[in-house]
Structure 1
Amino acid sequence: MIAAATTPLASALGPSLAFDGISLTLGRTDILSGVSFNVAAGSVHALVGPNGGGKSSLVKTLLGQMPHRGKLSVSWPGDRPGVIGYIPQALEFDRGLPMTVNDFMAAMCQRKPAFLGLSRARSGEIGDALARVGMQDKRNRRMGALSGGERQRVLLAQGLVPGPSMVVLDEPMSALDEAGVRVFEELLDNWRAQRVTVLWIEHDLEAVGRLADRVTGLNRQVLCDGPPAQVLTPDRLLALFSTRPRVGSLPQERAA
């Protein structure tokens, strides 16, 4: 979690985002080139594209983890920064560690050292978050003993504490079973109802078509941007996934 304010704004309007000419080069490789699009405040905005197309790198620029050229703006309502929740694609750790779900949540969601246990200030929130993802009864289970889908649910739970105003998701559905997918979709519905801004990397195009408000197709540069019904067409998806375009070689398509 990245806490930018002491008071969570879970019920407040999330920020709008503006990516303006974002470029990123690692060594001699252009990872991103002139990426420009906007994310509306309180919307569910999906990023789709092939592996290696720069989606995760773009998210890392947003989180301040990678240097870049261009301008990236986060406009908070009333100029009051809120809380950003980040949910990665997977959790890498030594499965032999005697770390329980409670230990993990304590390490991720509170300032008190995890070895001192859950703080009273966060214990209720953490319990509620685990209950929302169906993991409340496994709080004392070792993380290494959980299935991949269960670990992904715990990652979803840590993104809920403290209550976020913006959520960044990196392929959260990749390890979820059918029940976990239903949990995730309920979280998306709740975030939309609370007007939380969601930036969501996803490969499941059927889910994107049902759940996203707007979609940006990224393959090192923006190749399409608009409502799901206008972006997720066979022709645009073929152009997006079939080739790796030379930088600047393809025009960006925008749908109103």
Structure 2
Amino acid sequence: MTIAEPLALSAGPGIEFDRVSLTLGRTAILDRISFNIRPGSVHALVGPNGGGKSSLIKTLLGQMPHQGRLCLDWPGEPGLIGYVPQALEFDRGLPMTVDDFMAAMCQRRPAFLGLSRKVAPAIGEALERVGMQDKRKRRMGALSGGERQRVLLAQGLIPAPQLLVLDEPMSALDEAGAQVFERLLNDWRQAGVTVVWIEHDLAAVKRLAERVTGLNRQVLFEGPPDEALSPERLLNLFSTHPKAVGSDRS
């Protein structure tokens, strides 16, 4: 073991949400959200649609104003933040291939000039990791929803992030795609990447996340998935009028 290896295991930041609130017009989207995300961990966010999960990660990404304190505690110099959205909205009639999309997302050189020599190897490796290497010349509009989701995962790998935000990355994946995602999640965990992961598949959260926060405008629970995702807490989380309960901060 070298001296550098322990440092690689803490590459991602710790994150602290301290009474973070978000109000749009007269509607309270987030109400005094307080919890921590440990550095280098896979932390899931679960809750009903409209409960504020996407708004919270947009706040984390600096895309929405908020009240309260949000702190990223990097182990050294601030690193790179990656983001994989839930879905890709585009005109399916566009003659855009997978390579064209990756070029547009991952390099400064205009996509119509093709892949730059500097970025091409990383793009090839990323597409190989998600099982899309053999479909690089396919039009994006001709891909299935699961295949487009794999391409989105691939662009999230370039450049390699230290903090990765995932908005329901499994929503369109088939079984093979879910296996690809699980391998990537394991790779990120081993590399010490901090992963913030919105997910509706509670079985996947139990299996793959280290901690989970239940969010419905407020934090209703937080802790290890096996303990936090009890039937009683989930019933309260997805109810119309949830009640705040104590969190497991162990």
Indicate whether the TM-score tops 0.5.
yes
Q: Which residue of 1 aligns with 2:223?
A: 226
How far did residue 82 of structure 1 move?
Answer: 1.1
Does 1:195 pair with 2:192?
yes
8 Å contact kept, 1:126–1:161: yes
- Which TM-score applies when normalising by structure 1? 0.92
Unaligned 5+ runs, structure 1: 1-8
Does 1:170 pair with 2:173?
no
- Which TM-score applies when normalising by structure 2? 0.95
Matched residue SS, 2:15 = strand
Moved more, 168-177 or 114-123: 114-123
Taking only the aligned residue pairs, the percentage that are identical comes to 72
Unaligned 5+ runs, structure 2: 1-6
Does 1:86 pair with 2:83?
yes
How far did residue 254 of structure 1 move?
Answer: 2.5
Does 1:254 pair with 2:235?
no
Does 1:105 pair with 2:99?
no
How far did residue 10 of structure 1 move?
Answer: 8.0
In 1, Cα distance between equivalents of 2:121 and 2:9: 18
In 2, Cα distance between equivalents of 1:144 and 1:205: 30
How far did residue 243 of structure 1 move?
Answer: 2.3
Q: Which residue of 1 aligns with 2:42?
A: 44
Matched residue SS, 2:118 = helix
How far did residue 11 of structure 1 move?
Answer: 7.0
Amino acid at match of 2:26: R
- Supply the RMSD in Å over aligned alpha carbons: 1.4
In 2, Cα distance between equivalents of 1:218 and 1:147: 31
In 2, Cα distance between equivalents of 1:190 and 1:11: 11
Moved more, 235-244 or 156-165: 235-244
Q: Which residue of 2 aligns with 1:25?
A: 23
In 1, Cα distance between equivalents of 2:201 and 2:106: 29
Q: Which residue of 1 aligns with 2:3?
A: none
In 2, Cα distance between equivalents of 1:138 and 1:244: 47
Quickly say closer, same or farther: Cα 1:102–1:11, change in 2 above 3 A.
farther
8 Å contact kept, 2:100–2:112: yes
Amino acid at match of 2:42: V
Does 1:153 pair with 2:150?
yes
Task: String of CA shifts for 1:137-174, please: whole Å, max 9, x gaps.
Answer: 11111000000000000000000001111110000000
Q: Which residue of 2 aligns with 1:136?
A: 133
How far did residue 185 of structure 1 move?
Answer: 0.3
Amino acid at match of 2:103: A
How far did residue 251 of structure 1 move?
Answer: 3.8
Amino acid at match of 2:41: S
Task: String of CA shifts for 1:93-118, please: whole Å, max 9, x gaps.
Answer: 00000111011001111111112111
In 2, Cα distance between equivalents of 1:39 and 1:94: 37
How far did residue 18 of structure 1 move?
Answer: 0.5
In 2, Cα distance between equivalents of 1:107 and 1:55: 28
How far did residue 250 of structure 1 move?
Answer: 2.3
In 2, Cα distance between equivalents of 1:244 and 1:197: 32
How far did residue 177 of structure 1 move?
Answer: 0.3
Q: Which residue of 1 aligns with 2:52?
A: 54
Q: Which residue of 2 aligns with 1:16?
A: 14
